[in-house]
Structure 1
Amino acid sequence: MAKDWNRRVFLRSSVAGAGASLALGSEGAGTASASPGAGVDVSHGDGLRVERTTVEYAETLLGTEVEHPRLTWELAAHGRGARKSAYRVRVATTEKDLVRGRHLVWDSGRVESDRTVGIVYAGPALRPRTRYHWQVRVWDGAGRPSAWSTPRWWETTLPKDAWQGFWIGSSAAPEPPGFEGASWIWSPGSTSNSAPAGPRWFRGQVTLPAGVEIRRATLVATADDDFTLYLDGQEVLHQAERTDAWRSGHLADVTERVRGANGGRIVLAALATNRGSASVNPGGLLVRLIVETASGGTVELVTGAGWRCAESEQQGWQQPEFADADWPAVVLLAPYGQGPWGSGVSVTVPEQPAPLLRREFTLPQKVVSARLHISGLAYYDAEINGVRIGRQVLDPGFTDYDETVLYAVHDVTDQVRRGVNAIGVTLGRGSGLGDLTSQGRARGDRSRRLPAAGVRRQSARGHQADGDGVSASRAGRDG
């Protein structure tokens, strides 16, 4: 078998039967048969040799919960017709003890078998957070032993009851305001089931108490069918023409614009258009401005009584100083929650930036070994002291978070140091916390009620270790 060993091809061929359980051959040499046959011509050169070994189908395995790992090896030989008749596996907790054959954790002894795939570790129970070194030798059909394979290792992870971390994440985004207190409005002559088609121009205003300190100002709006909304002459929201556009409310933070209002007088102006020519063709505008003050009070401006409307555009109509006294009053079609629209408007929340989590920690002594165990309820990137941990992307793998959450284990011995250290995690956003339909589409994003993502982490110090690797295992979601 060539050096660029293909795991999938190897596994597929290994389960075809006993005759395919042994892969032999090397560059410049023929491929040997896995079982003896008539007229076999076996070269008596240097016999079988172990080309490659894996544990749980990985060359080395950092952080595994598997209690009885499966060991596999790939063989090669010169000539044709070579076969394997037996094997011996030995395991130790240090590479020195392994190669010297002393203080072994497990020695299978010579086992008469031609198997090379999925040999189960059958030694004593594995200790958590421990690295185990192993190697194998085999015997050919003539009873000649091979050399011992190159030592490899696997490392166990934390026991399930040793997780001491907690699920952490960013604060949940605040619930967007609704349209409570606002009414659907349109031009004179309209009803809740029928309104003149075409554009209409609307204005409403409110004056803030003198000297009030503004903490936050939020604006939500929608229209049947489309609109552009201005605050003190500046466009702040727009809803393009589309079917049932009124079902989507639009949200804007207008704190700075409200703070800059001249004399505390706030003017909202909207251009809204009712499209279509059906016999039942309602049109409406729905707006709510909420101004929160530093003292805990609120001032609101909602569509309703006091708003005015025009059927034609006039120069400067959206500016706060425009004189609208001769505009007629609007018609109140229905309070929000009633009329043909009901309460079917959902407010679209702008996408929030990725949460950044950070914590400093101090290590008073020289670091001998360090492991990072980390999991997320969404994708994440982790860094320690400014160095990205791991090479994988889209980690952890997708699972049903109600049942299984994957975690990864990283060797971070070279990233931490004696003294002050810092760990930082960037959390991903998306539908990771939403339920999925059978077609895989998101159904209800729960990020409004839960943190957008959570991270569970724990670092551990143990024996001296070198090497690199990462693995994913199952972890409970019981914080």
Structure 2
Amino acid sequence: MLEVTKLRCEYLDNPLGLDVAHPRISWQLRSDRRGVVQSAYQIQVKEGSPEGDAIWDSGRVESEQSVHIALTELTIQPRTRYYYQVQAWDGQGACSGWSAPAYWESGLLQHSAWQAQWIGVPAGSGIAEEPCPYLRRTFQVSGAIQSARLYATALGVYELELNGQRVGDSYFTPGWTSYEHRLQYQTYDVTSLLQNGANAIGAVLGNGWYGGFLGWKDKKQLYGDQTALLVQLHVTYTDRREDVIVSDEQWKTAGSPILMSEIYHGETYDARLETPGWSLSSFNDSEWGNATAFSIDKSIIIAQENVPVQKAEALKPIALITTPKGETVLDFGQNMVGWVRFTVRGTAGQEVGLEHAEVLDHEGNFYTDNLRSAKQYVRYIIGSEQEETYEPRFTFQGFRYVKLSGFGDDVRLDDFTGVVLHSAMERTGHFACSDALVNQLQHNILWGQKGNFLDVPTDCPQRDERLGWTGDAQMFISTASFLMNVAPFFTKWLRDLKADQLDNGGVPFVIPDVLSKIDPASRHSSAAWGDAAVICPWTLYLSYGDTRILEEQYESMKAWIGYIRSQGVDPYLWNTGFHFGDWLGLDSKPDTYIGATDRDFIATAFYAYSTSLLVKTAKVLGKEEDASEYERLLGRIVEAFTEEFVTPSGRLSVPTQTANVLALMFGLVQGAARDRAVNKLLALLEESKTHLTTGFVGTPYLNLVLSENGHHDVACKLLFQTDYPSWLYQITKGATTIWEHWDGIKEDGSFWSRDMNSFNHYAYGSIGDWLYRYVAGIQADEAGPGYKQFLVRPHVSPGLTWAEARMESMYGEIGSSWRQLEGGTLEVKVTVPPNTNASVLLPDARTEGLLESGSPAINAEGVRLAETTDQGVRLVLGSGQYHFTYPISS
């Protein structure tokens, strides 16, 4: 049996509102046989309905390709639904038959398609002092509706209602982009919300990132001081007529019960000001004022690119605490990001408050000093004697604990729910092992990603920052791509990076770039931070086989290398400018955040690494002249690095853990110099009693380098440390997410600092990459990006008796697990999805005694013996599920 499943268009399941000239189609194959490889495919596209004749047919295409097939021959029309089906053939000639139809729907496609006007609250109306105004209008529907699509965006953030019903399930729309250059719009199918006759559409606007506070200098309105709305509703009737309802000066506006809403500070809601039915056609808006139209550029408007922020799950509090200070505090048991939905009973005018925090102090009291100026406070004013339920709209908090005020003594846990919000990325990765603390570490890494992947990859979700730091993003992107499908998420963010990149190729510290708005003289272009311009696109290519992201970002990648090359006197060393260095390295001098590794060493190392990735990118894109040019540049950088930082005897002149890790990871030392770097790293670890001293720059690569250079046992010893500094130390202190500092909470219960101490900071969660790639053994292969070809190399790890991982690739599920059985037998299970193959190294195996499902492995279907080495037996596996057992060699 051969079946085509999981059809996707631009990574998405039946997306609405794509503004992509040549959409890309992907699918997976399902088969009950081993060794299945697609030999051909056929795609048919139909317009408007899955029935009828195809408007485009690829015919039978002899190809193994089943991901990212661009429909270059199809001319896309605006606001049109396209259904597509796929059938495939395997190498034995079996045909799948046609898949179930899937679809995508195009958006407006052209800026000229916007008939609507930007509207908002008129200045001087009094409403403008309210940050969250209502806007509404009524309209008529006359006839049977075939379909209705609503297109909307805002300066600020918006929510829409239609006939009293919320439109869509997305939050913080239109999302955070480089607003001067790019502003997303969203598309909604509202067919079911309309009714024949009178209808009403309503909107509420908030400051969001556009007009609200951003950064730590109490600055707001960094993009503009006027929130505004743009809405266009197309109603298509069964008789082919069409009505278009647009935002214009016919709309009415009034204040809302949301008196204050800020991402950092929370929300104030006065239920006494509610106007029931305000988005219904029957509502009397005669006392509302008229909206004002604004002349605002529409040429920057683009369709939604990232997956939207949505409610992901709900948590109930696990305890109600009375602190030593007498505070009433809810404990949700998990450091999370979102808000609290609550039910309250009281009297009109009574105020209740919810203050949010990540931790309690060492005495057990509510602690908010690490939030700096962020208030994270929700204030609710009760509107009646009846039971009322509320949740915020345009703010989010990072918290585990919530301090209650005004609720009285009768607090019921059932009245409170923690609503988890993040970008709606598909969960793709799962890792588990025999050690409970390591499993908790994996949990913490995942929740760090949930909490910080809210439309942009933020550094932290709680204090007055929450910015898209480039360094954190590039350090974690490989781990992130195991855990979730982050391709649309980072595609959108990288387009903002390209938009905000300086004319000279420099890259701001944060994307979108707001630091230059807070301080026009702000620095930019730190090594390892700006390198996100190169590292992130390449990682997406490896993880998803996406060449389009390389094509889109290629000039940005080149510009970054060009920027580095233009710095200083020597074009092959980077020894000028400001750098964060090995940020928060434990070998730093007192009163500084920067580790001991020389910053020009780090800068030049990353210069070489990014240039090497640019060489690979140029080759993938067929840019041979560029590839040759950058290969020559890379050679000169390595020569300069060697002359500057490697002594004639082959010793690195910078004797730190991070320096040796980077030199090894980036291939900057070879032969005897490489051996010396490995031995020096081991000596440094022995000096620190197998504890790390690395910071943001060295930590992501430390365990990878140890395992890759034959010292997996040392890497495991590092992992299993439970005293400071270590990954598991945090867990012994109750962490449920990754901390910013190894000792965010010290042994005595005191805190590392008050001003920079996030307890949800994902950078050190990059250890997850090593757990998947080395402990479980799933590794991408540049020869077959996107896991078309991949490596399985499990490492039997001291301290563990079993480990397993699985991940959903573009081709289907990949799995790798190992388990030590009684009698010195090792069990290894491998899952290879159809249309891929895997090179599998079974550690310490010999062909004698190697069984697959109880029979000699080398005779098993789908198995080919590649080689026998001192490390074990290497096999090449076609698709299928495999169960190996063998005695472990002594």
**TM-score interval, normalised by the smaller of the two chains:** 0.3 to 0.5
**Greater radius of gyration (CA):** 1
Task: Tell which has more relative contact order, 1 or 2 (C-alpha 8 A, sep 6+).
Answer: 1
The structure with the greater share of residues assigned to helix is: 2
How does the TM-score come out when normalised to structure 2? 0.26
